[in-house]
Structure 1
Amino acid sequence: MTSGTDGTGHTAAERFAVAEDIGASEAVLRLSGELDHDTAPALRTALDRCESAGSARILVDFSDLRFCDSTGLNVLLQARARAQERDGAVELVGLGRGVARVFDLTGAGTLFPRYATVAEARSAGGPDPGR
């Protein structure tokens, strides 16, 4: 295995990407590829940027994500905890069946509001403030 690559010869940056649209009230992170131990730092960095910008609501769009392991799940759980400390929220969008499985098997899926699309999430207006 070449330094900096996974078993397929691809770098983490080639296997995973985060497109960011970060604003003060809302941020949308569109994930693509595979979220795992090697690629999770890129998501963590994007979530940190959302937090630094003061984004109260973070929509994480999984529509183009093919795989998520427990490392990716843990990054999201940590972001959720930090968001709640500042009365914010991390919400999940477009979870495909395969990716949703890790959330459902662990019970973590019940901790996040889930929507089919970003438009649906926006029209829902976010979770109850009393949650």
Structure 2
Amino acid sequence: MGKTSAMTDLSIDVQRLPSCHVVHLEGELDRMTQPPLAETFARLLRSDTPKIVVDVTGLAFCDSGGLWTLIRALRRAEERGGALRLIGVHGALARLLTIAQLVYRNLTQAATWAGPRGRSR
């Protein structure tokens, strides 16, 4: 789907795979940079059963506004019978999201769409 960049430092690259969309993030996800990501999620969530894997390997920072954007997209995906999974999570975000059981080890695991068995702990 292409690459988007906000005025500050967040790059969003969406890749369509047969089983899902992969959203690659690079830079900083905060209150200032989250609007383009929220728009990207809104577009991807229009499908009947949206399946989205968010690769945050290149994410250097995520504040509460960015975290809320991810959680809101997760909830909307689940409401539509789909899912949103995160891979490449590291640092403080990894500690928080691992406790919440929202982290998957890699794209292969995340894209199986199985229940919570594949989540890292």
Provide the identity percentage. 33
Structure 1 ranges of 4+ moved more than 6 A: none
Give the 5 Å matches for 1:79-98. Answer: 79-98=73-92
Give structure 2 stretches of 5+ with no counterpart.
117-121
Cα distance in 2 between the residues matched to 1:22 and 1:115 = 19
Cα distance in 1 between the residues matched to 2:71 and 2:96 = 13
Cα distance in 2 between the residues matched to 1:116 and 1:24 = 20
Change (3 A) 1:24 1:83: farther
Cα distance in 1 between the residues matched to 2:48 and 2:13 = 18
Cα distance in 1 between the residues matched to 2:115 and 2:96 = 25
Asked whether the 8 Å contact 1:66–1:99 carries over to 2, the reply is no
State TM-score, norm by structure 1: 0.73
Cα distance in 1 between the residues matched to 2:105 and 2:95 = 15
Give the 5 Å matches for 1:64-83. Answer: 64-83=58-77
Cα distance in 2 between the residues matched to 1:14 and 1:55 = 32
Asked whether the 8 Å contact 1:22–1:53 carries over to 2, the reply is no
Matched with 2:42 is 48
Q: Which moved more, 1:31-40 or 1:72-81?
A: 72-81
1:128 aligns with 2:118: no
State TM-score, norm by structure 2: 0.78
Larger Rg, first or second structure (1 or 2): 1
2:107 to 110, 115, 118: 118
Give structure 1 stretches of 5+ with no counterpart.
1-10
1:36 aligns with 2:30: yes
| CA apart distance, 1:38 | 0.1
| CA apart distance, 1:12 | 4.2
| CA apart distance, 1:34 | 0.3
- How many residues in Structure 1 have an aligned counterpart in Structure 2? 112
Give RMSD over aligned pairs: 2.4
**Alignment-mate amino acid for residue 42 of structure 2:** D
